Each structure stands twice: as C-alpha cells, then as structure tokens.
Amino acid sequence: GITNLHNEHVYADENPHACKVTHSQHEFKINVWAGIVDTFIVGPVILPRRLNGDSYLQHIQNTVPDLLDDVPLELRGNMWFMHDGAPPHFTVAVRNFLHQEYPNKWIGRGHGAP
C-alpha cells in the first residue's frame, strides 16, 4: 500500500535501516463513508471504487437510514448531514434528496450552516 511517511518513525534494536517501499506499480484507492452523531460512530461503509451520483444517492437513500437505527431519535432530529464537494455528492438528484430529508440541515460544496 501507499503510506504517508511524513510522521513515521522507526525504532529498531537490530536493523535501524528499515526497508521501505515508497512506490507502487498499482494505484490503490478506497472510498469509505462514515459519520459521527454525538457519541455514535455511524458506519463505516465501503463505497464503490467508481462512485457516481447514482450510487451515492442509493447509499444515502438506502444504507444511511439503516445505519442510523442505533442513533436515538432525539439526536437524529437535531443532526446535520455534511459532506464535501465531490461531484457525486452534488448532483441535482442528491441535492434534491438532501433538501427533502434534511431541510436547512445539510452542508455541501461551498455552503456553511445557514
């Protein structure tokens, strides 16, 4: 895999010159969705490698509600939905769904909390 070596330190009794592979022939990617609601961790869920608006919409319509079952209703009623501005997160269908399910309670591309 690929590792960020910026803060990595190796302490060894026998071999202080640890061998590190710094390049990989193949690119490794993984899309993970997770949420935090108060003290509850929601997920994580591995999303498709090639995420698009349709697959993301399916995720937030079908998977997220099931994941929130363990979060108490009073917390769900006060929670906000936040994601970054990745293109799959900002399709018209996704925005319409978020406007319907989280009216004035979702944060996306370039938008802060109202």
| pLDDT tens-digit series, residues 87-111 | 999 999 999 999 999 999 998 876 5
Tell which wins on pLDDT, 92 or 14. 92
- 34 contacts 42 by C-beta, under 8 angstroms: yes
Q: What is the pLDDT of residue 1?
A: 46
Please give the C-alpha separations between residue 98 and each of 15, 19, 105, in angstroms, as whole numbers.
Answer: 54, 48, 8
Q: What is the pLDDT of residue 60?
A: 97
Q: What is the pTM of this model?
A: 0.71
Please give the C-alpha separations between residue 58 and each of 93, 107, 110, in angstroms, as whole numbers.
Answer: 10, 19, 23
Tally of domains within the chain: 1
Q: What is the pLDDT of residue 109?
A: 77
Residue 77 belongs to what domain range? 1-114
Strongest mean pLDDT among 23-37, 54-68, 74-88: 54-68
CB environment 35-56: b (16+ within 10 A), e (fewer): bebeeeebeeeebeeebebeeb
- 46 contacts 30 by C-beta, under 8 angstroms: yes
